[in-house]
Structure 1
Amino acid sequence: MPGHSFTHMGDAMCVYTDGCCSQNGRLKSRAGIGVYWGPNHPQNVAERLQGRQTNQRAEIQAACKAIEQARSQNIAKLVLYTDSMFTINGITKWIHTWRNNGWKLKSGKDVINRTDFEKLYKLMDGIDVKWIHIPGHAGFGGNEAADKLAREGARKPDTSSL
């Protein structure tokens, strides 16, 4: 992509992801994902979340999208900034226990976002991902841009039922 470069941290590419959901948990909820590689970057994403509309799914799926894009660009090392501690803890800590326990929580209930975390886990195979938590809505440019893209995506039509 001439004229468009990726932001680097050492030999790793940097990306910001965010998910949002208006009316989260309600009937008319609208979720979107945002992936921000840099100003006016052609890989930036603003998409409507497909399927169940929740904030947590949007956060996980935004990370999935960024890693899918990194794979398609043969990026081997990725620094992924997100304001979702749920996503970071889920993929770096909890997933090992969930997998060992047959995707059950300590309470015995099923892990609600199992398919989303399974997808994320599979996508990470072969890519070195460094997860960095960044506070949301705290003036960090990349996070603000990813948030704006996620909100733009949430306004798009849901095409999953078409």
Structure 2
Amino acid sequence: MSLNWSKRRPVYEPWYARLDRDPFAREATNTIRHGVRPPPAKPAKPELVTRPAVKTAPKPHTVAPGALCRKYALRTSDVEKARAALTGVTKAMIWCDGGCAPKNPGTMGMGVVILSDEVRVEFFGGGGRGTNNAAELAAAIMALEAIPDGCRTTVIAESTYLVDGMTKWRHGWRQCDFKRSGVDIPNADRWRKLDALAAGRSIAWKWVRGHNGDPMNGLADKLAVLGRTGGRHE
């Protein structure tokens, strides 16, 4: 406090009057504004390290002859030998597959695996020219020609053309003699033969996705390659 002698009363000076700077001015290095501290920074979240999925190669279908039957197994391209080996069999599972190469149509190959409690028959054939659908039907014909009459059978195939044809379409086709507008439907001769072989038999038709881990379906596919190449592995 100082005295103003002209008016004889005290004059109050602010406390910062004697400072050589403005105490309210923000310095360049001062990060705190007017004495208020900013909220503390939140710690950064650690980055999640995502590892790429490891792709494992599918296991090859390795089914040794005789692995799933009690007596013995036969691999042949002779229908008479296959029929003789299956004599007396009353219940069997059949996996059949067919295809052609190098293009469609091309050289056909058919493979069939017939499995019962007594015997397993690996049956292959082919060599003619046709389409994939024709080869699928030919493989089913081979299988039904080999099994004895009265044998209860489940046929498993990856061809929806074959399975749907035998479960949904063939009864309507039979009434029209497998013709449409007076003309034979595609593969009419094979459909007629397959229909005749299936008549009077107890057969269940089942679809399975191809190359999806079914070892017998994979084996039937390999047998179809043998049938197409005349018994040689590609």
Q: Same fold (TM over 0.5)?
A: yes
Q: 1:86 to 1:3 in 2, by over 3 A?
A: same
Instruction: Report what 2:14 is aligned to.
Output: none
TM-score, scaled to structure 2: 0.55
Measure the CA separation in 2 of the matches of 1:89 and 1:20. 18
1:79-94 paired onto structure 2 within 5 Å: 79-94=154-169
1:1-162 paired onto structure 2 within 5 Å: 3-4=71-72, 12-26=91-105, 29-38=106-115, 43-50=121-128, 52-71=129-148, 74-105=149-180, 110-156=184-230
Q: Give the C-alpha shift of residue 110 in structure 1.
A: 3.0
Measure the CA separation in 2 of the matches of 1:79 and 1:32. 21
Q: What per-residue deviation string (whole Å, max 9, x for no partner) do you get for residues 117-152 of structure 1?
A: 111111112321101101001111010000000011
Q: RMSD of aligned C-alpha atoms?
A: 2.5
SS in 1 for 2:179: coil
Q: 1:49 to 1:93 in 2, by over 3 A?
A: farther
Larger radius of gyration: 2
The answer to whether the Cα contact below 8 Å between 2:178 and 2:192 also exists between their aligned partners in 1 is no
The answer to whether the Cα contact below 8 Å between 1:33 and 1:49 also exists between their aligned partners in 2 is no
SS in 1 for 2:192: helix
Residue 198 of structure 2 aligns with an amino acid whose one-letter code is: M
The answer to whether the Cα contact below 8 Å between 2:127 and 2:230 also exists between their aligned partners in 1 is no
The answer to whether the Cα contact below 8 Å between 1:56 and 1:86 also exists between their aligned partners in 2 is yes
The answer to whether the Cα contact below 8 Å between 2:114 and 2:121 also exists between their aligned partners in 1 is yes
Measure the CA separation in 1 of the matches of 2:91 and 2:123. 20
The count of aligned residue pairs is 144
Point out the structure with the larger helix share: 1
Residue 46 of structure 1 aligns with an amino acid whose one-letter code is: F
Measure the CA separation in 1 of the matches of 2:154 and 2:97. 14
SS in 1 for 2:121: coil
Instruction: Report what 2:12 is aligned to.
Output: none
Structure 1, unmatched stretches of 5+, are: 158-162
Q: Give the C-alpha shift of residue 12 in structure 1.
A: 3.3
The answer to whether the Cα contact below 8 Å between 1:15 and 1:79 also exists between their aligned partners in 2 is yes
The answer to whether the Cα contact below 8 Å between 1:24 and 1:55 also exists between their aligned partners in 2 is no
Residue 127 of structure 1 aligns with an amino acid whose one-letter code is: R
Measure the CA separation in 2 of the matches of 1:16 and 1:103. 25
TM-score, scaled to structure 1: 0.77
Structure 2, unmatched stretches of 5+, are: 1-69, 74-84
Which structure has more RCO (C-alpha within 8 Å, separation ≥ 6)? 1
Residue 47 of structure 1 aligns with an amino acid whose one-letter code is: G
Measure the CA separation in 2 of the matches of 1:68 and 1:101. 25
